[in-house]
Amino acid sequence: MHRSPVVDAESFDRILSSMCTEPHPAAREAAERFLASNPGDPATYEEIAELETRAIDLLAGIVDHPDPRTADGYITSGGTEANVQAVRAARNRSDSDDPNVVAPESAHFSFTKAAELLDVELRTVPLDSNLRADTDAVSAAVDADTALVVGVAGSTEYGRVDPIPELSAIADDAGARMHVDAAWGGFVLPFTEHDWSFADAPIDTLTVDPHKFGRAVVPAGGLIARDSTTLDALAVETPYLETYSQATLTGTRSGAGVASAVAVMEELWPDGYRETARRCQRNADWLASELASRGYEVVAPTLPLVASSIPESTIEELRAAGWKISRTARGEVRVVCMPHVTREQLEAFLRDLDRI
Ligand code: 0PR
């Protein structure tokens, strides 16, 4: 007999801090059918290998890759792996003996992990007054040893989009590669006016995670490359498998993540994602104006993420009332308006805030 789990699954009712969300029903269903498959062994698990090719085609379309025939990439365990691999590919392709990576202060901490693992120097540069990468500071930081310039399209703390075309031009001048981290923003940005994708700049690699705004199951991240040179730079020989090389960081990988990503992208791209992105953005704009009207300072949201200066003691009481909220390094409360976050939920949050 099937025994019920000891702990109930998470409820998304009060989660305002997460960049993950409830998987779409199509994602759930597809995941379940591929729980025991391994895309890391494509000669044995052919169905999931085909689905992964499909996933990369779909993601390439979402990030405006200019040519689906040359687009390359794979489904990673998440944004961390995709970012680590982007740094690794750039390092492996660099001529420098002492390579460095230049990234804005807003870059996710996965770049710190990458730098440590790969023994490259991470040069973080300050942000401008709008919390985006300061291009003058990036220009000043690059040199002949720069292997990679990183831009963030949808930053973790404030949802900001760096000036990607300008950063790409700086990378190009320095003979460096360009990477865009759209792990969180990638399924919202196609429905905005921001310049962030392969269509907007000559970027080499891009992170876009189906398990965040894409509504796939965890784990499903995405690394998309302009052409096959990136994955070639990552490949190691695999002597006893029927395929001869492997470019991924992990060996055995989740077929469930891959299958769920394909299922949900086929279901939602583009209309379903557009509708979700607009609803989430309306929620964020509404929450920002409600907080402002109560006298709290608000960082105006550019994507569905609201940061606001709420006193520490109030944050603690909201947490005690069951709200999952997180804080920025500067101490603002951070509300991520993911697809599971409804207007009713935000109204309930404000009622608790008013009461406290
Ligand atoms: N790049 C960006 C811009 C991110 O925001 C994140 C994750 C990553 C890369 C790394 O992605 P993975 O976590 O998939 O490796 N940002 C969130 C964070 O670190 C992730 C997160 C997700 C946090 C769910 C909480 C949570 O419940 O804060």
| Distance between CA atoms of residues 19 and 188, nearest Å | 13
Say how far apart CA 257 and CA 307 lie, in whole Å: 30
| Secondary structure (3-state) at 325 | coil
Atom of ligand 1 nearest to the CA of 156: 5
User: Do 37 and 255 touch, CB atoms closer than 8 A?
Assistant: yes
Closest CA to 206 of 173, 236, 168, 233: 168
Q: Where are the domains of the chain?
A: 25-268, 271-355
Structure tokens at 273: 């994602």
- pLDDT for the residue 8: 73
- Distance (angstroms) between ligand 1 centre and the Cα of 294 equals 30
Report how far ligand 1's centroid is from the alpha carbon of 167 (Å).
22
CATH code of the region 271-355: 3.90.1150.10
Instruction: Tell me the pLDDT of the chain (356 aa) as tens digits.
Output: 566 666 778 889 999 999 999 999 999 999 999 999 999 999 999 999 999 999 999 999 999 999 989 999 999 999 999 999 999 999 999 999 999 999 999 999 999 999 999 999 999 999 999 999 999 999 999 999 999 999 999 999 999 999 999 999 999 999 999 999 999 999 999 999 999 999 999 999 999 999 999 999 999 999 999 999 999 999 999 987 777 899 999 999 999 999 999 999 999 999 999 999 999 999 999 999 999 999 999 999 999 999 999 999 999 999 999 999 999 999 999 999 999 999 999 999 999 999 99
252 CA to centre of ligand 1 in angstroms: 22
Contact status, residue 150 vs residue 111, Cβ threshold 8 Å: yes
181 Cβ closer than 6 Å to some ligand 1 atom: yes
Structure tokens at 116: 């440590």
Q: Is 162 in the pocket of ligand 1 (CB under 6 A)?
A: no
Task: For residue 56, report the distance from its CA to the centre of ligand 1, in Å.
Answer: 21
Helices 271-293 & 255-268 angle (0-180, nearest 10): 90
pLDDT at 351: 98
pLDDT at 104 (0 to 100): 98
Strand 177-181 to 146-152 pairing: parallel
Distance of CA 330 to the CA centre of its chain: 22
Fold of 25-268: Aspartate Aminotransferase; domain 2 (3.40.640)
User: Which tokens sit at 201?
Assistant: 């700049």
What is the predicted pLDDT for the residue at 267? 98
Side-chain-side CA neighbours of 311 within 13 Å: the count stands at 7
Ligand 1 touching residue 20 (CB < 6 A) = yes
CA nearest ligand 1 atom 14, residue: 78
What is the predicted pLDDT for the residue at 148? Answer: 99
Are the C-beta atoms of residues 287 and 300 closer than 8 Å to each other? no
Which protein residue has the closest C-alpha to ligand 1 atom 16? 156
The two beta strands, 326-327 and 333-336, are: antiparallel
Instruction: Give the distance (Å) from ligand 1 centre to CA of residue 351.
Output: 28
CA distance 15 to 303: 18
Question: Is 72:186 a contact under the CB 8 Å cutoff?
Answer: no
Q: Measured from the CB, is residue 221 less than 6 Å from ligand 1?
A: yes
Q: Is 175 in a helix, a strand, or coil?
A: coil
Instruction: Report the side by side order of strands in the sheet with 305-309.
Output: 297-299, 305-309, 333-336, 326-327
* Res 210: pLDDT: 98
Number of H helices, E strands in the chain: 11, 13
Distance in angstroms (rounded) separating the CA atoms of residues 148 and 316: 40
**Beta bridge mates, 174:** none
Please, are residues 246 and 49 in contact by the beta-carbon 8 Å criterion?
Answer: no
Question: Which letter does DSSP use for residue 289 in this model?
Answer: H
The helix/strand/coil state of 223 is strand
The number of CA neighbours under 13 Å toward the Cβ of 188 is 29
Burial of 119 (0-12, 13-18, 19+ CB in 10 A): exposed
Contacts of 163 (CB under 8 A, 6+ apart): 132, 133, 135, 151, 195
**CA distances from residue 164 to 21, 63, 71, 107 in whole angstroms, order as listed:** 27, 13, 19, 13
Neighbours of 355 (CB within 10 A): 8
- What interface predicted TM-score (ipTM) does this complex get? 0.96
246: nearest Cα among 62, 68, 9, 49: 49
